[in-house]
Amino acid sequence: MGPSLVVLAAGMARRYGGCKPLAPIGPRGEAVIDLLVSDAVAAGFGHIVLVLHPETGPAIRYHVKRCWPSSVEVDFAEQRLPLGTVHAVLAAKGALGPNRAFAVSNADDVYGEVAMGLLAGQLSSGADEHALVGYQLRSTVATGDPVTRGICGVDGHGYLRSLDERRQVTRVGNGEQFVSEDGLEPKELAGDLPASVNLWGFQAGIWEVFHTAMDSSGLDEVALIAKVTAGGEVPKAEVLLPEVVATMVADGVGLPVRVITTDAKLVGVTHADDLPAVSAELARQVAWGIRPSALWGGSG
Mind listing the domains of the chain with CATH numbers? Answer: 4-133+195-239+254-297 (3.90.550.10)
> Looking at residues 243-262, what average pLDDT do you find?
96
**pLDDT value, residue 12:** 64
CA distance 262 to 243: 22
Positive or negative, the Cα torsion across 121, 38, 243, 270? positive
Distance (Å) of CA 162 to CA 18, 149, 243, 245, 266: 33, 13, 10, 9, 22
Which pLDDT score is estimated for 213? 97
Q: Are 52 and 76 in contact (CB under 8 A)?
A: yes
Mean pLDDT of 77-101: 94
- 251 Cβ contact list (under 8 Å, min separation 6): none
Q: What is the pLDDT of residue 17?
A: 55
Where would I find the H helices in the chain? 32-43, 57-67, 85-91, 93-96, 113-124, 206-217, 221-229, 241-251, 275-287
The three-state secondary structure class of 136 is strand
User: Rounded CA gap, 89 and 150, in Å?
Assistant: 19
Q: Is the pLDDT of residue 14 over 80?
A: no
Confidence at residue 244, expressed as pLDDT on a 0 to 100 scale: 97
Task: Determine how β-strand 194-202 pairs with β-strand 102-106.
Answer: antiparallel
* Identity of the residue numbered 293: S
Q: What's residue 97's pLDDT?
A: 81
Q: pTM for the complete prediction?
A: 0.94
Q: What is the pLDDT of residues 18-64, one digit of tens each?
A: 688 999 999 999 999 999 999 999 999 999 999 999 999 999 999 99
Contact 160, 152 (CB under 8 A): yes
Coil, helix or strand for 237? coil
- Give the residue-averaged pLDDT of 124-131: 95
Mean pLDDT, the chain, integer: 92
pLDDT tens track for 269-294 = 877 777 888 899 999 999 999 999 99
Residue 132 has pLDDT above 60, yes or no: yes
- Looking at this protein, which amino acid is placed at residue 299? S
Provide the pLDDT for residue 153.
96
pLDDT tens by residue, 211-226:
999 999 999 999 999 9
Strand 257-262 relative to strand 130-136, pairing: parallel
pLDDT at 273: 77
Find the helix or strand (DSSP H, E) in which 150 lies.
Answer: strand 147-154
